[in-house]
C-alpha cells in the first residue's frame, strides 16, 4: 500500500498518530473552509484531527480525486460519510507527505 493509501486508511481508522506518520515534519495542513487553517507542523495538525474526530466520531472520507506535483498532493474528498454530517461540503487539502508520491 502506498503512503497515500496508508494516510487515508489511518484517517478513516481515526488513528491520529498513524495519520501524522504519513506527513513530513514541516507539513502545512489546509482544510478549505476552516477559518483556523492553514496550520503548520504535526502538532498543530494533530489538534485539528483530534477536534474533527471528537466532533464527528463516525467520520469516514472517500477519495474522489487527487493529483501530485513533486512532493505535494492535493486530494479532493467526498463529503463526510456520517450520520451527523451528510450535508457537509467537500474537503480539499494540500498535504506534503513524508515519502513523496
The count of domains in the chain is 1
Its pTM stands at 0.68
Report yes or no on 42 lying in a domain: yes
Report yes or no on 67 lying in a domain: yes
Among 47-51, 64-68, 84-88, which stretch is predicted with the lowest mean pLDDT?
Answer: 84-88
- The boundaries of the domain holding residue 11 are 3-96
Report yes or no on 17 lying in a domain: yes
What is the spatial distance between Cα 23 and Cα 55, in angstroms, rounded to a whole number? 23
- What share of the chain in percent tops pLDDT 90? 25
Using left for φ > 0, alpha for ψ between -120 and 50, and beta otherwise, residue 92 falls in beta
Report yes or no on 91 lying in a domain: yes
CATH number of 64's domain: 3.10.450.50
Amino acid at each position: 500500500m502506498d503512503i497515500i493509501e496508508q494516510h487515508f486508511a489511518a484517517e478513516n481508522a481515526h488513528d491520529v498518530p498513524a495519520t501524522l506518520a504519513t506527513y513530513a515534519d514541516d507539513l502545512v495542513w489546509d482544510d478549505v473552509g476552516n477559518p483556523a487553517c492553514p496550520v503548520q507542523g504535526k502538532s498543530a495538525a494533530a489538534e485539528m484531527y483530534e477536534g474533527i474526530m471528537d466532533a464527528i466520531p463516525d467520520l469516514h472520507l472517500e477519495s474522489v480525486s487527487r493529483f501530485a506535483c513533486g512532493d505535494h498532493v492535493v486530494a479532493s474528498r467526498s463529503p463526510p460519510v456520517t450520520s451527523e454530517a451528510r450535508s457537509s461540503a467537500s474537503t480539499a487539502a494540500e498535504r506534503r507527505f513524508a515519502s513523496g508520491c
